[in-house]
Amino acid sequence: MIRTSRRMADGREILYYEVDGSAVSHDTPDTRDLPAVGTHSQLRWDALLGEWVVYAAHRQSRTFLPPADECPLCPTRPGRPPTEVPEADYQVVVFENRFPSLATAVDPDVPPTAPGAPYAEQRPGFGRCEVVVFTSDHDRAPAELGAERLRLLVDVWADRTATLAAIEGVEYVYPFENHGEEIGVTLGHPHGQVYAYPFLPSRVERVLASVERHREQTGGDLFADVVAAERGGPRVVAANEHWTAFVPAAARWPYELQLFPHRRVPDLPALTGEERTALAELFGDSLGRFAHRFDEPMNYIAAWNQAPVHRGREDWWLHLQLFSLRRAPGKLKYLAGSESGMGAFISDTSPEDVAEQLRNVVVP
């Protein structure tokens, strides 16, 4: 993989990634007249739930579902307004978000607590938010990218994870993709994001607590026990030499897969070349099953669960969550009173039935 770093008109970093032997100079300048990016994000501590909340009110003005001929993620080409990518073509591009929730240059002047709330500690919204553009083709869905492009994408995620984890103050690096308007996507071009948080997200904290509790109660390794059971169980959907995709026994979402490597690794940078290639193949297969389960492709979220930068790395087992809100043709699973109000999920589907349905999907 070859990486080329450049600067955008407002000083943000943009990186071009190509497979070896495909590098070009990427010297086209960004000629737009852009104002400097100003980020005023803040973190507030929820003392009752014991977790951080990010406030980024400046994101209200971000680009929202523009027409295809005004897409800011497409290449810059004659006859169209300049986009976020100055070049006329590219393979994979990563750049700092123009409307970031977290930023390294955030205003550090934050009162210690929220007004009238002494237990609501405040901190600057430090971190970094990047956009990862999967292809220059606006209409090419991720399920159609092919193994070679997905392999490059795995390398990009690994590179960004290693780079962002090295920033002082970053505690967790989270690559993810939102796909489909029903999920909340505001740009239709195939892309994902990478967030570098200055704290551990609540899901990670809960998993680490469960691993520790399991060890104290049984002397066992929770991740290893779960992976071993699922690999030999009825919910396996697909597998290869290095990875297995299965519907988790306690799946929360109508359609949900988890992809685990057969070898414990903490994060994407720790994968070998063979494991990355095998991941690209199984990830593509899984996306294809989601795309062809119904007559219309599923919306989904692809969420990488990596080890924290500092804590619990020896206990963690890298895995991917791939899940959809689609429960049936034309029907979505809404997070209503129980799920949104109490965090208690009520599922409309059976994990074993979903696994059988996904196994039976024929991927073209």
Q: What's the CATH number where 168 sits?
A: 3.30.428.10
Asked if 116 and 91 sit in the same domain, the reply is yes
Asked if 89 and 146 sit in the same domain, the reply is yes
**Which residue range(s) make up the domain with 124?**
2-29+39-199
Residue 313 lies in a domain: yes
Predicted pLDDT of residue 79: 87
Asked if 317 and 177 sit in the same domain, the reply is no
Asked if 191 and 293 sit in the same domain, the reply is no
Residue 24 lies in a domain: yes
Domain boundary among 178, 199, 220: 199
Asked if 132 and 215 sit in the same domain, the reply is no
Residue 364 lies in a domain: no
Q: Report which of 285, 275, 253 is spatially closest to residue 359, judged by C-alpha positions.
A: 285
Predicted pLDDT of residue 349: 96
Tell me the whole-structure pTM to 2 decimals: 0.96
Asked if 214 and 141 sit in the same domain, the reply is no
Asked if 148 and 187 sit in the same domain, the reply is yes
Residue 56 lies in a domain: yes
Handedness of CA 159, 163, 165, 166 (dihedral sign): positive
Domain boundary among 199, 227, 247: 199
Asked if 93 and 207 sit in the same domain, the reply is no
Q: Which of 58, 179, 189, 191 is catalytic?
A: 191
Predicted pLDDT of residue 23: 64
Domain boundary among 176, 199, 222: 199
DSSP bridge partners of 93: 16, 133
- Residue 266 CA to residue 328 CA, distance in Å, equals 35
Give the β-pairing of 2-7 and 13-18.
antiparallel
Predicted pLDDT of residue 43: 97
State residue 152 phi and psi, 5-degree precision: -65, -40
Tally of domains in the chain: 2
AA letter at 111: P
Asked if 129 and 101 sit in the same domain, the reply is yes
Which residues does the chain have with pLDDT short of 70?
A: 22-23
How long, in residues, is the chain? Answer: 364
Residue 169 lies in a domain: yes
Q: Are the CB atoms for 286 and 237 separated by under 8 Å?
A: yes
Q: Are the CB atoms for 130 and 150 separated by under 8 Å?
A: no
Residue 346 lies in a domain: yes
Asked if 168 and 211 sit in the same domain, the reply is no
Residue 285 lies in a domain: yes
Residue 191 among the catalytic residues: yes
Residue 34 lies in a domain: no
Asked if 259 and 315 sit in the same domain, the reply is yes
Asked if 309 and 192 sit in the same domain, the reply is no
Q: Are the CB atoms for 93 and 75 separated by under 8 Å?
A: no
Residue 142 CB partners (closer than 8 Å, separation 6+): 134, 177, 179, 190, 287
